[in-house]
Chain A
Amino acid sequence: LAKTTQPISMDSYEGQEVNITCSHNNIATNDYITWYQQFPSQGPRFIIQGYKTKVTNEVASLFIPADRKSSTLSLPRVSLSDTAVYYCLVGDSGAGSYQLTFGKGTKLSVIP
């Protein structure tokens, strides 16, 4: 499973756009990139998943460069309720591995 590296913490003011970058230098050809959000004492919540280029949904955007060695989760106009831990995961169930491997994530603090 590809190892990921992301900042331990980030601070942002309300209303700003937040970009969290994740490094995954040894990503495999069939691997997908997935981001989860977790609030204290709750289960992680799926945010977005992508393979290449850009993916956008109602919550966030995911930017993946051509070499796929990194990815950036973009949260538009954050609010206090976006304060949470964000996890970047890389993997492919087609390789016979179905487990999600979480690191320590990025703790985002939104400041009023």
Chain B
Amino acid sequence: DAGVTQSPTHLIKTRGQQVTLRCSPKSGHDTVSWYQQALGQGPQFIFQYYEEEERQRGNFPDRFSGHQFPNYSSELNVNALLLGDSALYLCASSLFGGTGWGETQYFGPGTRLLVL
């Protein structure tokens, strides 16, 4: 059973550039969330996608955008990169309507982005 996968594993960009990160959810999951984790901090919620629409958004600027495809995979796009965007970007998948605090989220290994 494949878990959450992300690509690429590492990425180096320069200020002002744009980047696209990709995520494939765990088999059977239909919801994808994206998180940003700076060094030494806990992950911070960016947004969540369900049925190809953004269902909820955290406190991130419009430079951060996303997309979900019919096969439930997702992309995170960041425009006009800043040095402060350097972080580990995590994708998490879950099943809509899951029991408990639903939708227990399972995380991928992350993409390490370095902005120079």
Contact = CB atoms under 8 A, between A and B. Distances in A.
Contacts of A51: 100
B33 interface: yes
A99 interface: yes
Nearest to B90: A43
A42 B101 contact: no
Contact of A44 (B43, B55, B58): B43
Interface of A is mostly: loop
Contacts of A34: 101, 104
A92 B103 CA distance: 10
Interface stretch (B11-19, B71-79, B108-116): B108-116
A102 interface: yes
A46 B108 CA distance: 11
Given A41-B110, A43-B4, A98-B33, A93 B102 contact: yes
Contacts of A71: none
Interface residues of B, number: 30
A10 to B, nearest CB: 17
B42 interface: yes
Interface in B2-37: 4, 31, 33, 35
Q: Which 3 residue pairs across A and B have the least CB separation, nearest first?
A: A102-B42, A43-B107, A32-B101
29 contacts: A31-B101, A41-B88, A41-B112, A42-B109, A42-B110, A43-B90, A43-B109, A44-B43, A49-B100, A49-B101, A49-B104, A51-B100, A91-B101, A92-B101, A93-B101, A94-B102, A97-B56, A98-B33, A98-B56, A98-B102, A99-B33, A99-B45, A100-B33, A100-B35, A100-B45, A101-B45, A104-B41, A104-B42, A105-B42
Interface of A: 31-32, 34, 41-46, 49, 51, 87, 91-94, 97-105
Interface of B: 4, 31, 33, 35, 40-45, 48, 55-56, 58, 88, 90-92, 100-110, 112
